[in-house]
Amino acid sequence: MECDNSLVIETILAGGAANSKISELHLIHQLLDCN
């Protein structure tokens, strides 16, 4: 899986706006796995 940090961050922000904390944490975990 390719890591598109800008897409991940954008999705985290969108998830935060939707109050989707579980998705936000999942995306952060994926971002950390990319490093």
- Give residues with Cβ within 8 angstroms of 5, minimum separation 6: 31, 34
CB-based burial of residue 27 (10 Å sphere; 0-12 exposed, 13-18 middle, 19+ buried)?
A: buried
pLDDT at 19: 56
- List the pLDDT tens digit at each of the 35 positions of the chain: 566 777 777 777 776 655 567 777 777 888 787 65
pLDDT at 14: 72
Closest CA to 31 of 18, 17, 6, 13: 6
Cα dihedral 24, 30, 32, 35 in deg (nearest 10): -140
Domain boundaries, the chain: 5-34
pTM over 0.75? The answer is no
